[in-house]
Amino acid sequence: MESDNNLKAFANDIRIETIKCLKKRGFGHVGGCMSIVETLSVLYGSVMKYDAKNPQWEDRDYFILSKGHGGPALFATLALKGFFPVNWLDTLCEPKTLLPSHCDRLRTPGVDVSTGSLGQGLSVADGIAKGFKIKGKDNWVYVILGDGECAEGQNWEAAQFASHFKLSHVVAFVDWNKRQVDGYINDVMSLGDIEGKFKAFGWYAATVSGSDTEAIKTAIENAKKEHGEMPIAIVLDGVKGSGVPEFEEMFDNHFFNLDAELADKAIARLEA
């Protein structure tokens, strides 16, 4: 198991490689990539079972990025863990690339589920976990949801399903970065008490800082000790554009043109 210092360093590397990737493209979903970096660091640096040399290993844990537009952060994570060469990150969205804008399991090694059509990831996670339960396997299924997509009713049907069928190996993270494509969550469609909602649906739920690797890791460990037969929800209280002040301060930071000067400034700050 990685130490917290190592997880912080890994998160920093993910953030740097993600920005480099988006700088090459000149645009992208920068804000929502930044706010999931620490969770990716914890999952791939400490928690999940996987084999980068054998991405289809049957005993692996599954990861689903339901907010598939955050793909560049996942691609950076997978590259740094050896699923494919880091220089592939330079090909994001180019013709014939293996790294499309959104996650595609048929193209990118290490991607378990194709995503990008929001609201579907938790349902897919339930289906995978239900299959594992029928087979008597103990693989875990981790899924990151965007807070904006939680306004879609399918997520709450999936929450009800997971609770009813006691899918105790589902862990859902909600990237509560307070913003979506159209503006602030509270202006577009307030989510209210996210943790309370999951608890009302029969889940074990907790809220932690989304930018604190130690808090995220501890929350997962505690949940696995205490959840019994309940699925697990961890709400990540964070900031869109997290880790780069210039990104955090932008109002329209969901998707924007990333000029080289701003990208280089962010990278230099992180490398320092």
4-271 folds as: Rossmann fold (3.40.50)
Q: In the sheet that 141-146 helps form, which strands lie side by side, from edge to edge?
A: 62-65, 141-146, 170-176, 232-237, 204-209
H helix or E strand, kind and range, residue 262: helix 260-271
Give 198-235 pLDDT, tens digit per residue: 999 999 999 999 999 999 999 999 999 999 999 999 99
- The tokens for 228 are 């019994």
- Looking at residue 2, what is its pLDDT? 66
* Dihedrals phi, psi of 206, to nearest 5 degrees: -150, 160
Q: Give the number of other CB atoms < 10 A from CB of residue 40.
A: 27
The answer to whether residues 143 and 122 touch, using CB atoms and an 8 Å cutoff, is yes
Cα separation values, 135 from 63, 113, 128, 132, Å: 19, 20, 11, 5
- Looking at residue 3, what is its pLDDT? 77
- Looking at residue 175, what is its pLDDT? 98
Listed as ranges, residues in the chain with pLDDT below 70 are 1-2
The answer to whether residues 169 and 140 touch, using CB atoms and an 8 Å cutoff, is yes
* Cα–Cα distance for residue pair 260/139, rounded to 1 Å: 42
